[in-house]
Each structure stands twice: as structure tokens, then as C-alpha cells.
Amino acid sequence: MSFVKCLECSRCGNLVSKIGLRAVCPECQGPLLVRYQLHEIKRYLKKTSLSDRPTDMWRYIELLPVDADEEIVTLGEGYTPLLPVPHLGQLVGLPRLYMKDESLNPTGTFKARGLSSAVSMARKLGYTKVAIPSAGNAGGALAAYGTRAGLEVFIAMPADTPSANVVECQMTGARVVLVQGLIGEAAKLVERLQTREGWFDMSTLKEPYRLEGKKTIGYEIVEQFRWQVPDVIIGPVGGGMSLIALWKALAEMEDLGWITSRRPRLVAVQSEGCAPIVEAFRNAASAATAWPKPNTFASGIRIPKPFGDFLILQALRDSRGHALAVSDEEIYAAVREISREEGIFACPEGAASWAAVKRLKNNGWIQEDETVVMLNTGAGVKYIDALSRYEKEHQPVGAGRPTP
Ligand SMILES: Cc1ncc(COP(=O)(O)O)c(C=O)c1O
Ligand SMILES: [Zn+2]
């Protein structure tokens, strides 16, 4: 049985019936958030009883939108390791530095979580054709979960999306279109197909259920710390779904009585080549301005204007957090450093978190005694071509290359 109460517009507060796969708020087109009967869940579910549950994200099923186990479309997503990273910690003087390693998810990134829950709901609600504009990894995850659920899948991606993403989508038999331009062009194509052919649009925050799967990262981090919250959580921000979802998870856990009102400070990391949230945060703006010429090899964070910009900025401020941009050079160096020090081959977006930790420790924003979690959002192996291209274009032959 589901504990979902209703859908609530995150912009105007409008309450919408939970029936049907709603896209956005019918009044103001804002993103809808799923609201639960948390007081009921509080009586029914104790955090201590979770320890007997399966080690995937569906261990929190009462806090997810499905009605029954049979509705779940799963490939084993979630419950990824929260790894101490002592060598990196030592480099920067942070003995309590951790990495939530999302590269172990199906399809190699954290996008698996959101697409597992959204595809489960799409199938339950009778949709047969699902589409997504994607920077790459969300497309790969929709292809996998949509196929698993027996749905038709359409994916639009920029032509320079990493080849691993293109191939993983094509392998499933999904329809894949590479568009000239950036994700905005891909989004326009999906919008046209939605109107003309009835494809359901699974874009970031344009349906409410991806966020629900994504929020399980927050539940896991806190459970893995034995129900303590860390001081700081740092992650890359593109569409911002993970940051918004983390903040939602923390609020729910407090309402459930599982944590106190103490919150981690959230940090959004972007690339200097595409930093609309950093810019808006610096200007104390409530929304972002579209970034004119987005350019970074960390393709997952090459999002010029996130649809949920106001929610990202709100979570950053409410958590007393921060937003900062690091250069592609720092991101590339971070990929290598994490591999060399800890044996973890992180994706560029995830590695940006480490570049940010170094900056924030050095400038005193993070203190030595704080517990810090970096999100590695995906696997470096999905970016072999992007990394090789970056190396060819930026490193003189032999200079600073990995020693054999
Ligand atoms: C590997 C990776 N990291 C980070 C992001 C950004 O995620 P979010 O949309 O949650 O900000 C993406 C999005 O495509 C991604 O693929
Ligand atoms: Zn609204």
C-alpha cells in the first residue's frame, strides 16, 4: 500500500491529486513534489527495522511512490558504498572524508535511481512510450529501465555525448536521435514528439517520480552513518535533481523523527565553462540566467539553465551551503588524483566534487574536524573518449600522463 498523500507544486503550493502521471503543475507549470502521509509512516516504520531489508534503494519502499512490490522495475539500484577516502583526506587534512560511490549503480551512474522509480510509475499508470532529452546518463538509464519494463523508449542527446551513452542506449533497441546543439535542442525535440505522438516526457523535474528515487541517496548516507548527518555534502549540479532530492530526504527524515533538525551544508559544484547556479548564488538571485556558451567535458553538468533552478538555490541557502565552479583542468586532475590515491575511477562530474573539497578546505570554509561526503555520481569508464580527447587537446605528449 502506498503512503502517497498528494502532489504539491513546489512553486505555487497548489495540491494536485495523486491520480495519473502528472507532468508539472497545471496552474503555474512548476515542478510537482510527492507528499506522503509521514505521520502514518512514522507509526508503521521504525528506522531500526530497515536493517533486515534488501540492500537496494527499495528498502525505503514506504517513502517511494509505488503501491506494491510487483510494480517495481528494478535492476538492483542503490545502497551504494559510502567509502572512507583516507588518502585524499590526508592530502587535504580532512580525516573524516567520505565518498558516496554511485558508480556501482546499474548503467554506472546515480541516474539509475530516478529512472527506476519513474519507469515503475509510468508503467503502473499505463504509459507505453517514454522519452527523454539527456546529457547522456539519464538517457542510458531510461533505455535500460524502460526496456526492462517493456516500454518504447525515445532518447534525444547532443551529438557530442560520450559514445558509451550512445551505444548503451542503442543496444537496448531504444530510438536514439543525436541533435546538433545542446540539451535544450534535445528538449525541444522531445516536446514536439510529446504533442505529436504522445510520448511521455521524463525530463528532469517535468514529472514528479524521478526525484523520489533520487532522494534515496540521502536516506542511505544518513543510515550508513548510523542516523547521523554529516557536516557537508558536496556534489556536482547540472539539472540539480540530486541536490533538491537530498534536501527533500532530510526534511522527510526529520518529520519521521529519524534525525534532528541539524542539517548538512550542501555544496553545488559546477564547471567554470557552465556555472549558472554558481553565478545566481553569488548574486543572491532566486533563479538562474541561461549560461551563454556552455563548454565543459563534464557533459552531465553542461546544463545552461536548470528547470528547477529556484529549488536548487533555495536548498543551498536554507542549508547555509555554497556553490562554486572549478575549471576543467582541475576536474581532469581530480579524476587522475582520485584514481591514483584511492583506486576509484570517477566520472568527471563526480571528480569535480574533489576539486571543490580542496578549494573549500584551503580557504577555510570546511574545517578539519568536519565530516564531509563527496558524491561520485558515476563511473569514469563511461567517459573514456571524453577523457582521451581532453588529454590530447590539453596535455603535451608525455607531460603528466599516467606512468606505465
Ligand atoms: C554523471 C553525472 N553527474 C552529475 C549529473 C548532474 O546531475 P543533476 O541533474 O542531479 O544535477 C549528471 C547529469 O546528467 C550526470 O550524468
Ligand atoms: Zn504551481
Give the pLDDT band (50/70/90) at residue 397: low
Measured between alpha carbons, how far is residue 355 from residues 81, 299, 368, 397, 401 in Å?
21, 17, 17, 24, 19
Q: Which stretch of 73-77, 179-183, 358-362 has the lowest confidence by average pLDDT?
A: 179-183
SS3 224: helix
| Residue 233: band (very low, low, confident or very high) from pLDDT cuts 50, 70, 90 | very high
The per-residue pLDDT for 23 is: 86
Q: Which residues line ligand 1 (CB under 6 A)?
A: 109, 111, 135, 137-138, 204, 236-242, 300-301, 347, 349, 377-378
Question: Does pLDDT of 277 surpass 60?
Answer: yes
The identity of residue 381, as a single letter, is V
Query: What average pLDDT score do residues 307-312 get?
Result: 98
Kindly tell me if the per-residue pLDDT of 37 is higher than 70: yes
User: Average of pLDDT values for 46-54?
Assistant: 94
**57 residue type, one letter:** M
Euclidean distance between CA atoms 349 and 358, whole angstroms: 15
Helix axes 384-394, 163-171, angle to 10 degrees: 160
Whether the per-residue pLDDT at 126 is higher than 80: the answer is: yes
Give the three cell numbers for residue 340. 591514483
Contacts of 220 (CB under 8 A, 6+ apart): 57, 78, 79, 80, 82, 100
Question: What atom in ligand 1 is closest to the CA of residue 348?
Answer: 1
Q: Are strands 322-326 and 265-271 parallel, antiparallel or unpaired?
A: parallel
Please name the residues in contact with 316: beta carbons below 8 A apart, sequence gap of 6 or more.
243, 266, 267, 268, 277, 281, 322, 323
Can you count the helices (H) and strands (E) in the chain?
14, 13
Strand, coil or helix: 322: strand
Q: Which ligand is nearest to the CA of 24?
A: 2
* Mean pLDDT computed over every residue of the chain: 95
CA of 32 relative to ligand 2 center, distance in Å: 8
Question: What angle (nearest 5°) sits at the alpha carbon of residue 274, between those of residues 270 and 280?
Answer: 75
pLDDT on residue 194:
87
Contact 58, 72 (CB under 8 A): yes
pLDDT score for 20: 61
- In this predicted structure, the answer to whether residue 97 has a pLDDT above a threshold of 60 is yes
The answer to whether residue 395 scores a pLDDT higher than 90 is no
- As given in the structure block, the three cell numbers for residue 234 are 558536496
pLDDT of res. 400: 54
What is the per-residue burial (b if ≥16 Cβ within 10 Å, else e) of 308-334?
bbbbbbebbeebebbbbbbebebbbbb
Atom of ligand 1 nearest to the CA of 235: 4
**CA 401, CA 222: separation in Å to the nearest integer?**
38
Instruction: Say which residue, 398 or 347, is predicted with more confidence.
Output: 347
Which pLDDT belongs to residue 386? 94
**pLDDT greater than 90 at residue 367:** yes
Q: What spacing in Å lies between the alpha carbon of 295 and ligand 2's midpoint?
A: 32
What per-residue confidence (pLDDT) applies to 352? Answer: 98
Between 21-25, 158-162, 272-276, 351-355, the lowest mean confidence (pLDDT) is in 21-25
Ligand that comes closest to the CA of residue 215: 1
* Structure letter (DSSP) for residue 307: T
Residue 1: the pLDDT is: 75
pLDDT at res. 30: 95
Range name among 23-32, 252-261, 340-349 with the lowest pLDDT average: 23-32
Binning pLDDT at 50, 70 and 90, where does residue 373 land? very high
pLDDT given at position 198: 86
Reduced to 3 states (helix: H, G, I; strand: E, B; else coil), residue 236 is: strand
Given a cut of 90, whether residue 56 has pLDDT beyond it is yes
Helix, coil or strand: residue 196: helix
DSSP H stretches of helix in 297-378? 309-318, 328-342, 348-362
Residue 22: what pLDDT? Answer: 67
Collapsed DSSP state (helix, strand, coil) of residue 131: strand
For the entire predicted model, the pTM comes to: 0.96
Q: Is the model's pLDDT at 404 over the cut of 70?
A: no
Q: In what order do the strands lie in the sheet with 97-101?
A: 82-84, 97-101, 372-376, 232-236, 265-271, 322-326
| 401 pLDDT higher than 80 | no
pLDDT at residue 195, rounded to an integer: 86
Residue 44 amino acid letter: Y
